[in-house]
Amino acid sequence: MDQNQENLQKTEGVMPPQKKESLWDILRFAIIALLIVIPIRTFVAQPFIVSGTSMVPTFQDGEYLIVDEISYRVTEPARGDVIVFKYPNDTTKYYIKRIIGLPGETVDINEDGSVIIINDENLKGLELTEPYIKNVMTKQVAMTRELGAGEYFVMGDNRPASSDSRSWGILPEDHIVGKTFLRLFPFKDLSLTPGIYHEYESGI
């Protein structure tokens, strides 16, 4: 060690640890890290990387997200939430979509792609205004889906390029992992609760 390094250590009030102490510190740090990280990863938040273009322009391929896994333990999923869930036809795969229809509602999709929600407050149905959609379907197969208890209708923001409830059906609540909480990468797009809209001009 040169004189400058020795002086710096004295100034900072630190000394190189003994080898036995160093190994114990590393082990202790590893144990503490595991005790903190594993429960957080399992019950609180989990990282995911967006794969594909089904949520463009809200989310781009390769973006790094942190998903909040704890909020839905105390609140119900809401229309407009962007969620990560286990794909019902293969629970080893994870999808990211937006909640469109809620339990007990009827979702009507017209040929022009417009979405009508029928529920107790809107027996005649009200059309969703969806500001997050940029790529509009030129022609959509019209369909109606009635949702039971614990069932959700989800769709990608990039409607022409999304495999969602229109093709594979309803999403059971117990398949939901959590909602998007933080976009970490790319850094220029760093944001909290990215892509979540709760204010619909239709009033739903």
pLDDT band at 32 (very low <50, low <70, confident <90, very high): low
Whole-prediction pTM: 0.75
Q: Is 159 exposed, middle or buried (0-12, 13-18, 19+ CB in 10 A)?
A: buried
Residue 200 has pLDDT above 70, yes or no: no
Higher pLDDT, 8 or 132: 132
Catalytically annotated residues: 54, 97
For the ranges 20-24, 97-101, 191-195, the lowest mean pLDDT is seen at 20-24
Question: Does the pLDDT of residue 14 top 90, yes or no?
Answer: no
The span from the CA of 56 to the CA of 60, in Å, is: 6
Cα separation, 200 vs 86, whole angstroms: 27
What domains can you pick out in the chain, each with its CATH number?
43-186 (2.10.109.10)
